[in-house]
């Protein structure tokens, strides 16, 4: 495998949607209707929930379901951090694969020297999810890159292409010089240009810090469109009661 031309590293959260995993955990165990819009989670179609996740402006997924009348932004961030610290393995277990998993499978299934696949994992449940999605492939067709907690621990010097979900994570990666960085097409990674919601760019503050170091491209997590436009205002408000 040392002679391959392209070594591809995937961070786990671009392959499996931890946001959906968190929502599924909340639906099952944390049905606090004062703090969270549980009815939204109970009634909204999965494709619509995916749409809300990738088109939210706040990096915190709880911003999709939190009751902002009673929960401040700081409290929301603290609540998210608590979930991720105390229930991370369960969140991973309840997560669902993104479209990037299809690419992972195709690359791992190619019987030639075009690429070698690596997946960065910090948790046994992550490894279990990856093995399940690639269960039809020989284990030697892909590789795990273990790390303890922070992605800054990963030695990225050996990889040519890196897939990440959060654009801000690129600032935590070491040695990105000359790399191809694939960033999830999520609105919290972008800044809107003017009044047109369809015109946006990846966060310029991040882009400025990595200018000239790496080639940045976009990868789509889901191919979904919103159906909220089909609701009138009263019907949409009902979802957030």
Backbone torsions φ then ψ of 3, nearest 5 degrees: -95, 5
Percent of the chain's residues with pLDDT above 70: 88
Is the pLDDT at 89 greater than 80? The verdict is yes
Mean pLDDT of 63-86: 96
Segment 185-200 shows an average pLDDT of 81
| Calpha distance 174→151 (Å, rounded) | 9
Residue 181 has pLDDT above 80, yes or no: yes
Condensed to tens digits (0 to 9), the pLDDT of residues 118-142 reads 999 999 999 999 999 999 999 999 9
User: Which residue bears the tokens 């990868």?
Assistant: 219
| Predicted confidence (pLDDT) at residue 18 exceeds the cutoff of 70 | yes
- Res 214 pLDDT > 50: yes
- Would you say the C-alpha torsion 62, 64, 65, 70 has a positive or negative sign? positive
In which band, very low, low, confident or very high, does the pLDDT at 110 lie, cut at 50, 70 and 90? confident
Torsion 145-150-154-156 (CA) sign:
positive
pTM for this model (two decimals): 0.89
């Amino acid at each position: 495998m040392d002679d391959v031309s392209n070594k591809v590293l995937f961070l786990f959260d671009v392959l499996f949607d931890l946001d959906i995993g968190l929502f599924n955990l909340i639906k099952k165990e944390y049905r606090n209707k004062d703090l969270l819009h549980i009815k939204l989670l109970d009634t909204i179609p999965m494709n619509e929930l995916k749409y809300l996740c990738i088109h939210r402006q706040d990096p915190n997924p709880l911003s999709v379901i939190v009751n902002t009348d009673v929960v401040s932004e700081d409290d929301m961030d603290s609540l998210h951090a608590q979930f991720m610290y105390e229930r991370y393995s369960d969140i991973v277990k309840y997560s669902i694969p993104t479209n990037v998993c299809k690419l992972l499978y195709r690359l791992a299934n190619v019987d030639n020297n075009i690429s070698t696949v690596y997946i960065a994992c910090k948790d046994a449940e992550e490894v279990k999810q990856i093995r399940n999605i690639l269960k039809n492939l020989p284990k030697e067709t892909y590789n795990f890159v273990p790390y303890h907690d922070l992605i800054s621990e990963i030695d990225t010097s050996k990889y040519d292409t890196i897939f990440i979900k959060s654009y801000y994570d690129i600032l935590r990666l070491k040695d990105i010089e000359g790399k191809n960085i694939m960033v999830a097409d999520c609105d919290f990674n972008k800044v809107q240009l003017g009044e047109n919601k369809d015109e946006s760019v990846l966060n310029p503050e991040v882009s400025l810090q990595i200018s000239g170091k790496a080639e940045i491209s976009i990868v789509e997590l889901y191919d979904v469109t919103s159906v909220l436009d089909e609701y009138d205002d009263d019907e949409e408000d009902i979802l957030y009661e």
